[in-house]
Amino acid sequence: MDEIRAGAGAGRPSPAADAVVVGREIRPTAYPRGEVRASDFRVVEVGVRGPQQGEVLVRNTWTSVDAALRVRLREKAPPGYFPAFPLDQPMDGIMTVGEVLESRADGFAPGDTVSHASGWRDYAVVEAGKDALGGVGTLTKLDVRGTPPQAHLGALGGTGLTAYAGLFHVAELRDGDVVWVSAAAGAVGSLVAQLAKIRGHRVIGSAGSDEKVRHLLEELGLDAAFNYKDGPLPDLLREAAPDGIDVYFDNVGGDHLEAAVGALRTSGRVAICGMISEYATEEPSQGPGKSQGPGNLMLAVTKSLTIRGFRGSGHTHLLPEVRRQLGAWLREGRLHCRETIVDGLPQAPAALAALLRGDNTGKTLVRIDGVAHRENPGG
Amino acid sequence: MDEIRAGAGAGRPSPAADAVVVGREIRPTAYPRGEVRASDFRVVEVGVRGPQQGEVLVRNTWTSVDAALRVRLREKAPPGYFPAFPLDQPMDGIMTVGEVLESRADGFAPGDTVSHASGWRDYAVVEAGKDALGGVGTLTKLDVRGTPPQAHLGALGGTGLTAYAGLFHVAELRDGDVVWVSAAAGAVGSLVAQLAKIRGHRVIGSAGSDEKVRHLLEELGLDAAFNYKDGPLPDLLREAAPDGIDVYFDNVGGDHLEAAVGALRTSGRVAICGMISEYATEEPSQGPGKSQGPGNLMLAVTKSLTIRGFRGSGHTHLLPEVRRQLGAWLREGRLHCRETIVDGLPQAPAALAALLRGDNTGKTLVRIDGVAHRENPGG
């Protein structure tokens, strides 16, 4: 990536006039075709102004790397989704945790730990109360007693919300359900699998490496797990769940969804959280041939199946419940949250590329080092 | 079709001993590959015994021809579905209306009009109270005041139940929803479209001929209608529903389902009732390449869509409500029920073949003529 200097964005006062600090931000420079590469992004140095009335200046400490960001790295995001990331602009709408440096907003004071949605940069000016990511990304003061701050990007944030809402509200988990979770070693999947285990269900996990499968069996305590690369999915699934499944939590789409439709029992349910297998297609909104839909949907009729897509941000009202419940399970040691941590903001694009290749376990996070850049170029 | 004579089935007393009448029944002789042909069936003459304790002898007058019968014309029906029709056996599980000739069951008397599930034959011995088709086909005495008896195979029977349950309970129709119904000139589709109109919705119908489209617009009063053969489905749908749709009632599957997923607005719902485009595939339970699944299911995530397969027989508890509500609308002239009637039991297979080719409007029915065959071969 190139590093360049730029102003803080159109429409704001010129950085020379009121910048209080030099920050770095990651900007996409080209929309990836197929695989994401770090060279599709660059690091830009910008002057960051101080907060105006109702705003806070935050030094970001952790920022999130999510597979679904791939969906927004294109000219036009699919209908209904968060907007595409414009080229050569900071990436708005990525969950981040940081420390308030300066506040001109009620309820926020220097030293507060907060979450917000102005990620992939080391400083951000954030307007209090302004809706972001359906409320999940709205500036929030965090209670970090007993939990590390980055947990608010994982189990206690949008990731936990997605897992919790998807399993309990979208898939409507019922007593006795046998649950299959794909990408079960991933950020959302590993939470879903553990939540279902805590509730006493038989849980099958799948992942893309033997090491991840070991993690699922040995650390997360799943009842069965398989490496989807080991054979035809329907066979692997039949071996893990000989009597079928009742709930499929889908992070993958494609052949995984089709195998689930085949294995689901009468009145079974699918919560489609994501489709990592589809993210690289140029136009997920467009027709046949672009991706392989499940060819066995007639079984949805014969077996009375329900297939629901959802987004965590559609269930923001559950966030306090998620923080309370998952926070308690975290502190009790009942939830294991492995993290894949990369150091340094400039590594965020490479971390996303690695995540999309499957080189991650648990939540992928960037530990931002903003300190070395704190200076005032305009002063 | 050949006509032959045979006994009334294994395990029953020999027809010569106790047969009271000679009946005809349709039996499949070979499972169709692809298109259904009348030559895949034959008419068999059988001696029909009198009723034993708890049974009635019924002279069938009307029997139902449904696209979904195709799903059972194979060696093994898909999981969760009604069983396949065995070769060279009478076809159990087809809705029928008839007149009780002789009763040894409480609550049934000669002359009663009844419905039951022993169709595609002109006489049937039916056990009272025995579950058939999830309860829809259980022997039922019909109130035929004010409605023709065959209405109990259509709007007041399983067809009406499927339309009503699918629209109101599966698709969860809400105020203001824009509704698209495929195969809207068919038995179920034409009811769904009219029910949504009665509730004040904007309704778009599609069908496979210009004549059907005229029927949808002029007789059923839909807001828009198109012939799906007239162009790319997404374009036709966009023209009919420029702002998108909220509910899609699917009778077709395949490209229709994909177009719906493309056109649905946020929180949209699909009720999959049937997939006439898939019925001829050899193994709807089997994997990729066998049929074309929707390639745009990523939109189910971005738009929070719900896609539910269902069967009317899963909602049998609604049948009294359906008979009351749709019966009232029928008598008030608010529901138009066109029928495609074929005369004579032997025409049932040809009627099914025609239906599957799309040569039908409204409910397809066989008017059975059993009278000429009433005799006692054993007496």
Chain B: closest CA distance from residue A196 (Å): 22
H-run or E-run covering A366: strand A363-367
What is the percentage of chain B residues whose pLDDT exceeds 90? 84
Per the confidence metrics, is the pTM higher than 0.80?
yes
Region B240-247: what's the mean pLDDT?
A: 98
pLDDT at B331: 92
CB < 8 Å to B78, chain A: 298-299, 302-303
Are the beta carbons of B181 and B204 closer than 8 angstroms?
Answer: yes
* Higher pLDDT, residue B146 or B305: B305
pLDDT at A182: 97
Of residues B272, B295, B298, nearest to A301 (C-beta)? B272
Does the beta-carbon distance from A297 to B308 stay under 8 Å?
A: no
**CA pair distance B303, A318, nearest whole angstrom:** 19
Of residues A257, A266, A309, nearest to B305 (C-beta)? A309
CB < 8 Å to B271, chain A: none
Chain B: closest CA distance from residue A140 (Å): 25
Pairing of strands A363-367, A55-65: antiparallel
DSSP class per residue in B206-229: EESSHHHHHIIIIIS--SEEEEGG
pLDDT in tens, B32-88: 988 999 999 999 999 999 999 999 999 999 999 999 999 999 999 999 999 999 999
Does the beta-carbon distance from A80 to B310 stay under 8 Å?
A: no
Does the beta-carbon distance from A292 to B288 stay under 8 Å?
A: yes
**CA pair distance A77, A298, nearest whole angstrom:** 30
Does the beta-carbon distance from A297 to B81 stay under 8 Å?
A: no
CB < 8 Å to A307, chain B: 300, 306-308
* pLDDT-flagged residues of chain A (< 50): 1-3, 6-14, 16, 284-289, 370-379
* Higher pLDDT, residue B293 or A124: A124
Of residues B257, B285, B309, nearest to A305 (C-beta)? B309
Chain A: closest CA distance from residue B306 (Å): 4
Chain A: closest CA distance from residue B196 (Å): 21
Q: Report the residue of A261, A296, A298, A299 to disrupt the B interface, i.e. the one with the largest count of B CBs within 10 Å.
A: A298
DSSP class per residue in B255-282: HHHHHHHHHEEEEEEEEE---TTTTTSS
- Quote helix, strand, coil % in chain B, to nearest 5: 30, 25, 40
Going by CATH, does the domain composed of A158-315 fall within 4.10.220.20?
Answer: no
Model confidence at B1: pLDDT above 80? no
- CB A87: neighbour CB atoms within 10 A? 13
Model confidence at B273: pLDDT above 80? yes
Of residues B78, B253, B308, nearest to A302 (C-beta)? B78
Model confidence at B288: pLDDT above 90? no
Region B257-278: what's the mean pLDDT?
A: 94
Nearest Cα residue to A271 out of A170, A165, A172: A170
pLDDT at B19: 84
Does the beta-carbon distance from B295 to A287 stay under 8 Å?
A: yes
Does the beta-carbon distance from B295 to A289 stay under 8 Å?
A: yes
Does the beta-carbon distance from B297 to A253 stay under 8 Å?
A: yes
Model confidence at B15: pLDDT above 60? no
pLDDT in tens, B214-237: 999 999 999 999 999 999 999 999
Instruction: Assign domain B3-142+337-373 one CATH number from 3.90.180.10, 3.40.50.620, 2.60.120.10, 3.40.50.2300.
Output: 3.90.180.10
Of residues A285, A296, A302, nearest to B262 (C-beta)? A285
Domain parsing of chain B, residue ranges: 3-142+337-373, 158-315
Residue B297: CA count within 13 A, CB half-sphere: 35
Pairing of strands A41-49, A19-28: antiparallel
pLDDT in tens, B194-207: 999 999 999 999 99
pLDDT at A289: 37
pLDDT at B277: 81
Chain B residue with minimum CA distance to A289: B295
Residues 6+ apart with CB under 8 A from A186: A67, A207, A251, A360, A361, A362
pLDDT at A1: 47
Give the tokens for residue B40. 């895949």
A-B interface: how many C-beta pairs under 8 angstroms? Answer: 181
Does the beta-carbon distance from A78 to B299 stay under 8 Å?
A: yes
pLDDT at A7: 45
Does the beta-carbon distance from A307 to B306 stay under 8 Å?
A: yes
**CA pair distance B182, A329, nearest whole angstrom:** 48
| Assigned fold of A3-150+337-373 | Quinone Oxidoreductase; Chain A, domain 1 (3.90.180)
CB < 8 Å to A258, chain B: 287-288, 293
Pairing of strands B306-309, B339-343: unpaired
Does the beta-carbon distance from B80 to A303 stay under 8 Å?
A: yes
**CA pair distance A29, A38, nearest whole angstrom:** 10
Chain centroid to CA B133: how far?
12
Are the beta carbons of B84 and B77 closer than 8 angstroms?
Answer: yes
DSSP class per residue in A75-93: SSPPTTSPPPPPTTS---S
pLDDT at A290: 53
Pairing of strands A202-207, A224-227: parallel
Region B116-138: what's the mean pLDDT?
A: 96
Chain centroid to CA A315: how far?
15
Q: Please give the C-alpha separations between residue B96 and each of B24, B114, B232, B298, in angstroms, as whole numbers.
A: 14, 8, 39, 42
Q: Please give the C-alpha separations between residue B305 and each of A184, A219, B169, B254, in angstroms, as whole numbers.
A: 23, 34, 16, 17
Are the beta carbons of A224 and A180 closer than 8 angstroms?
Answer: no
Give Dmax (Cα) for chain B. Answer: 71
pLDDT in tens, A212-225: 999 999 999 999 99
Chain A residue with minimum CA distance to B315: A304
- Amino acid (1-letter code) at residue A124: A
pLDDT in tens, A134-177: 999 999 999 988 889 999 999 999 999 999 999 999 999 999 99
pLDDT at A372: 41
Q: Please give the C-alpha separations between residue B56 and each of B20, B60, B127, B130, B369, in angstroms, as whole numbers.
A: 13, 12, 7, 12, 19
CB < 8 Å to B274, chain A: 301
Give Dmax (Cα) for chain A. Answer: 71
SS3 state of residue A270: strand
Q: In what order do the strands lie in the sheet with B19-28?
A: B3-6, B41-49, B19-28
pLDDT at B327: 95
**CA pair distance A47, B305, nearest whole angstrom:** 42
